[in-house]
Structure 1
Amino acid sequence: MKPTLRQAGLPRRARTVNLVAAGVLVLAQLLHASLLSSAQAATATQPSESTQTAAAAAPDNRPEIVKRGEYLARAGDCIACHTAPRGRLFAGGLAMETPFGTLFSPNITPDPQYGIGTWSEEAFFKMLRTGLRPDGSPLYPAMPIAQYTKVTREDSNAIFAFLRSIEPVRQPNRKHTLRFPYNKRELLYGWRALYFREGEFQPDPAQSVEWNRGAYLVQGLGHCTMCHTRINMLGGSSEREQFAGGLIPVQNWYAPSLTSDKDGGLGDWTIDDIVDLLQAGVSKRGAVYGPMAEVTYHSLQYLTDEDVRAMAVYLKSLPDVRGRKSGPSATPDPKVFALGKQIYADKCAICHGENGEGELPHYPPLAANQSIEMDSAVNPIRIVLNGGFPPATKRNPHPYGMPPFAQELNDEEAAAVVTFIRTAWGNHGQPVTAREVNELRKAPLH
C-alpha cells in the first residue's frame, strides 16, 4: 500500500538556497526608485486578508481533486522544505542554512493564524505565478519561484485543495536570521529583474505529448534546475548553463549535468537507465546519494511510470551545452596510485570488483562511472568519507549502502584511494589532494 504524505518518513532534505549576493545590492540601489513603485502597485492588486477570508468561490475540494493535489505536491517535493525533522507535516520551521544566514520555511497548513487558512485559490495561484506573497512582498528564491511560475492554474488549484485538506497546525513561523543587507527584502527586486520570468509553461508543438509532459514536470514542479545548474555570484543562473550541473551551495554536493554531455551527463544513458535512477534510486549506471536520494525518497518514487518516463524522455533530449570530451587519464604520482590501489583492494574490491566492474544492482561499477570521472571530485570524496546510502523505495525497498571510511582513513589515504578509482581502468578523472579531502571532512553532513 502506497504511503500517503501523512504516513511517510521525514528525513531532512537540505534545499539549495538562491539568495542575492553582494552585487545585487548595487543593482537594487540603482533600480530602487522605479521598482518601488512597481512593488507598491503589486501590493495594491493583492487580495487583503479580509478579502481572502470572504472569497466568494470556495475551493473545489472533491476527493478526486484533493487526491490529484496530493500527487502534485509529491511531484513538487513540497514536503522536503515545509516539514522540519520530527516536526508536524507542512508546519514549516525547517532551517535552511545559507552563506547569508538562515531561512526558515513557513507553515503551509490551513491554520488561519500561522498558515494559509485565510488564503483563497486566487491568492495561492498568484503566489505561485508571481513569486509574491499576498501582501505584495517578494518571496526569497529558496522557494523555487522561477520554476513554480510555470505551474498551470488547474494544478495550482488541486495543490491548494490538498493543502486545505490536511490537519491545521498552530505553529508560529520562525523569523529568518539573515545578515545585513540580505535581510532587506527590497533587494529581491534586483534579483527578480535579472532572473525571474513570470509565465505558465508553454508546450512545444513540435514535440510529442510525452516530451511536453516531461518538460512541464522537470522545468516546473520538479524544479530540477535549482540544483543541476551552477549558481553564479549574484545568486542566479545563466540560461546558457541550464541543466549543465554545478556545486550545490552550502551542501557541498555536486549535482551532475542532465544534458547529453557524455563526460558527466546523460549522453550514454538509455531511457530505462534514467527511469530506474529517478524512480528506484539505483540503475545500471549508478545510484542516488545525498540530496538526490531525498528527492527520490520523498517525491520521484511516488510518480507514475508514465510521468517518470516522460521526464526521462525530456532529459534525454537536452543538448550538450559544454561540449566536453572524454580524455585520457591523468598520471598520478606512482606512490599515491600504489597506496590507493592497496586500500582499494583491502576495502573496496569485495563489493565493487577487482577491476571496478561492480555487482549490479547493489554495487555500482566504478570503471567508466561518470560520477567518479567528473571534473569535480566532491561526490566520490564525500562518499568515501561519509558513505553512500540510496533511499528505500517501492522498487528497491532494501537498498545496500556503503559504509563510511572517515574514521579508518586519514586525509592522505582517502585522497589516494579516490585518486586510484578516478584514474584506474581507463577512467579519465584527475587526482585529488589531501587538502581537498580535509576540506570536505570538515563540511557539515546533510
Structure 2
Amino acid sequence: MKMSLRVLSMVMGLLLLAVAGFAEFAAKPNVPPQQAPGGAAVRPSTPKRVLQGEKIVALMCVHCHRDPSIKTLAGRPMPDLGTDLGNLYSANITRDPVYGIGKWTDQQVVTLMRTGTGRDGRLHLGMPRFAYLSDEDAASLVAFLRSDNPLTRATALPTPPQELSPLAKSLMGTALQPTPLVKHLAEAPPASQPVALGRYLAIGRYQCYFCHSQSIGTNNEAQPELSKGFMGGGEKMLDDDLKVRVSRNLTMDPETGLGKWTEAQFGKAVKFGMAPGGILHAPMPKFSTLTDDEVHALWTYLKTVPKIKNATPEDGAGSPK
C-alpha cells in the first residue's frame, strides 16, 4: 500500500497558505500523541488462526514490514512512499519486548490495525487502516504475530524516528487523523454469499479500494464506497524502483475497466500478476493464496460496483506524470 502522490500535489498550493499558520507547530521535533481508543477482547490464538494470520500477513504486511537483510518483520526505510511527508520507516512488529510489539496487548495491536494509532497514541503514517477487518481476521493476525514463525522472531532493532517534513507536521491533527472505530463483522461472510464475501475482501481484508480508487488522499476509510472514484483506478504510486505506476480501473466499464475480461482472466491477474494486457507491476501484490471461492466472490462483487470510465496508461491514456 502506497501513499498517494496525486493528492499531495493537488493540495500543495492550498497547504502552502496554511503552512505559515502551522510554522511554530511544524518546527517541533515531535508530533503530539492522541488518545488511543480502546477495543474489545481479542479471540484467543488457535492453530487455525495462526495459519489464517500467516496468509494475511504474507499478502498485506510483509512488503512494507520485512527487513530484507534480517528477514524478520523488523521494519525498513520506505522510500517507495515518496518524500513529501518526509523520510518514513515501517515499524518493527516482531515479538521483541522493547522495540517490537512484544509487550503490546492484543487490543493495542488491533487498535493500531483499525485506526492507525499506536499504544502511545501516535499516528502511524503511510499505513492503511483495516477499519472493517473482521474480529476473526484481526484475531488471526494477532495469533500469527505472537507465533514462533521466523518472520516474527524478536528482533532488537529500533525503528528510526520518522523524519517528518514541515508539510507532514502541519497536516498532523488536521488532514491526517486516526480512522474512527466503525461497526465491523465478527467473521467474513460465507462463500455461499459471494457478493457479501467479495465486498468484505475488497474493503476489509485486502482493501482493494484503497489503491484502486481515485486517490488515497480522498479515500473514505469509514465509508469506503463514498471514496472518490471508488474502484475506478487512477491512483499514482511508486514501484520498487521508485517508478510511477497507476492503479487499474476495477469497475466493469467495457472500455477502460474489466467489462471485457472474464472471471478466469481476472483470477490469473490477481493471483499471478498476468493480465490480458501484460504483466502487472509492483506495488500490486500477487494474491497467489486466494482460493477459487475468494476470486469468484471478488469478481461477483465488482460486477455490482457502479461503472466508471477512467482510462489508465495501459489503456493508451498516456504515461503517468
TM-score under structure 1 length normalisation: 0.57
Q: Which residue of 1 aligns with 2:35?
A: 42
Say if 1:374 and 1:63 are closer, same or farther in 2 by CA, change over 3 A.
Answer: same
Structure 1 residues 373-420: Cα deviation after superposition (integer angstroms, max 9, x where no partner): 332334xxxxxxxxxxxxxxxxxxxxxxxxxxxxxxxxxxxxxxxxxx
The secondary structure found in structure 2 opposite 1:67 is helix
Contact 2:233–2:247 (CA<8 Å) still a contact in 1? yes
1:115 aligns with 2:106: no
Paired residue for 2:319? 377
| 2:292 pairs with 1:305 | yes
Whether 2:200 is the aligned partner of 1:216: answer yes
Give, in angstroms, the shift of residue 24 of structure 1.
5.6
State the 1:323 CA deviation.
7.6
1:304–1:61 distance in 2 versus 1, CA, 3 Å: same
Which of 144, 156, 161 in structure 2 is aligned with 1:162? 144
SS, match of residue 253 in structure 1: strand
Partner of 1:425: none
Deviations 1:203-257 (A, max 9, x none): 9x9x97111111111112212233222328xx33472311111142444111121
One of 252, 267, 278 as aligned partner of 2:270: 278
Amino acid at match of 2:65: H
* Equivalent residue, structure 2, for 1:336: none
Number of equivalences: 287
Q: CA deviation at 1:301?
A: 0.3
Q: Is the 8 A contact 1:95 1:103 kept in 2?
A: yes
Q: Which residue number corresponds to residue 126 of structure 1?
A: 111
Please name the residue that 1:331 is paired with. Answer: none
Q: How big is each residue's C-alpha offset from its partner over 1:172-225, in whole Å with a ceiling of 9 and x where there is no partner?
A: 11222232131x2x73332256x945424469x9x9711111111111221223
CA gap 1:115/1:323 in 2 versus in 1, 3 angstroms: closer
Structure 1 residue runs of 4 or more that deviate by more than 6 Å after TM superposition: 27-30
- SS of the residue corresponding to residue 167 of structure 2 reads coil
Equivalent of residue 69 in structure 1, options 31, 50, 53: 53
Q: Does 1:239 align with 2:223?
A: no
2:199 alignment partner, SS class: helix
Relative to structure 1, is the Cα distance of residues 221 and 102 closer, same or farther in structure 2, using a 3 angstrom cutoff?
Answer: farther
1:57-106 deviations in whole A, cap 9, x for unaligned? Answer: 8972322221121122234x210100133342211013234141221111
Given that residues 263 and 296 in structure 2 are in contact (C-alpha distance below 8 angstroms), is that contact kept between their aligned partners in structure 1?
yes
Q: How much does 1:153 deviate?
A: 2.0
Match of 1:139 among 102, 121, 124: 124
1:150 aligned to which of 132, 135, 140: 132
Q: What SS class does the counterpart of residue 175 from structure 2 fall into?
A: helix
1:29 Cα offset (Å): 6.4
Q: Higher relative contact order at CA 8 Å, sep ≥6: structure 1 or structure 2?
A: 2
Distance change in 2, residues 1:315/1:82 (3 Å)? same
Paired residue secondary structure (2:35): helix
User: Structure 1: how far apart are the matches of 2:87 and 2:281?
Assistant: 21
Q: Which amino acid counterpart does residue 278 of structure 2 have in structure 1?
A: A
Deviation at 1:160, TM superposition (A): 0.7
Q: CA separation in 2, counterparts of 1:114 and 1:103?
A: 17
3-state SS in 1 of match to 2:53: helix
In 2: Cα distance, 1:144 partner to 1:107 partner: 16
Corresponding position of 2:309 = 322
Cα 1:98–1:267 change in 2 (3 A) is same
TM-score of the aligned structures, taking structure 2 as reference length: 0.76
User: Which ranges in structure 1 are unaligned for 5 or more consecutive residues?
Assistant: 1-14, 31-38, 48-56, 325-369, 379-438, 440-446
- Which position in structure 2 is the counterpart of 1:82? 65
Pairwise CA RMSD:
3.4
- Relative to 1, partners in 2 of residues 1:158 and 1:89: Cα closer, same or farther, differing over 3 Å? same
Q: How does 1:222-261 map to 2 (within 5 A)?
A: 222-231=206-215, 235-237=217-219, 239-250=227-238, 251-261=243-253
Task: Give the fraction of aligned pairs with identical amino acids, expressed as a percent.
Answer: 26
User: What one-letter code is carried by the residue in structure 2 that aligns with 1:289?
Assistant: L
Distance of 2:43 and 2:179 partners within structure 1:
28
Q: Is the 8 A contact 2:114 2:179 kept in 1?
A: no
Q: For 1:305 and 1:94, locate their aligned partners in 2 and report how far apart those are by CA, in whole Å.
A: 35
Q: Aligned to 1:168, what secondary structure does the other structure show?
A: coil
For 1:259, give the aligned amino acid. T
Residue 172 of structure 2: aligned partner: 188
AA paired with 1:316? K
Q: Note the alpha carbon deviations across 1:274-297, whole angstroms, 9 max, x for none.
A: 1121113225x233322155x00x
Map 1:280-295 → 2, pairs under 5 A: 280-283=272-275, 285-292=276-283, 295=285
Contact 1:191 1:236 in 2 (8 A): no
Structure 2: unaligned runs, 5 residues or longer: 23-31, 220-225
Asked if structure 2 preserves the Cα contact closer than 8 Å seen for 1:263 and 1:374, the reply is no
Cα shift at 1:267: 1.2
> Does the Cα contact within 8 Å between 1:28 and 1:189 map onto a contact in 2?
no
More helix by share: 1
CA contact (8 A) 1:83 1:89 kept: yes
CA shift for structure 1 position 41: 7.0
